[in-house]
Amino acid sequence: VYKLSPTASGTAWKEKYLVLARGYLVLCDKKGEEKNGKALNLTQVQSVVPVPKSNAKKEGVMSLNTLQGKSMWLQAPSKKEM
């Protein structure tokens, strides 16, 4: 997937890998590096919803929302994989 991330000049889409393991969603920079990734307990996920193209400016974008009120925009490699 691609994650919308802050940069010095605004925001940019950066390639990331998502792994679902033992009740956690792990976000890592490289494939196979789950041990170094950021883990989110699935019990903390409130919803995952599509983001309209008019807002995201791209196809296949979804927002992962947590119970703590945080959100993360992720883009699927294709709309079919969303």
**Per-residue pLDDT at 67 exceeds 90:** yes
DSSP one-letter string for 23-78: TEEEEESSTT-GGGSEEEEGGGEEEEEEPPHHHHSSSSEEEEEETTS-EEEEE-SS
Give the pLDDT score at 71: 94
Phi, psi of 25 (to 5 degrees): -105, 115
Percent of the chain at pLDDT exceeding 90: 48
Q: Write down the pTM of the prediction.
A: 0.81
Confidence band of 8 (pLDDT split at 50, 70, 90): confident
pLDDT per residue as tens digits for the range 13-36: 998 998 998 899 999 988 887 788
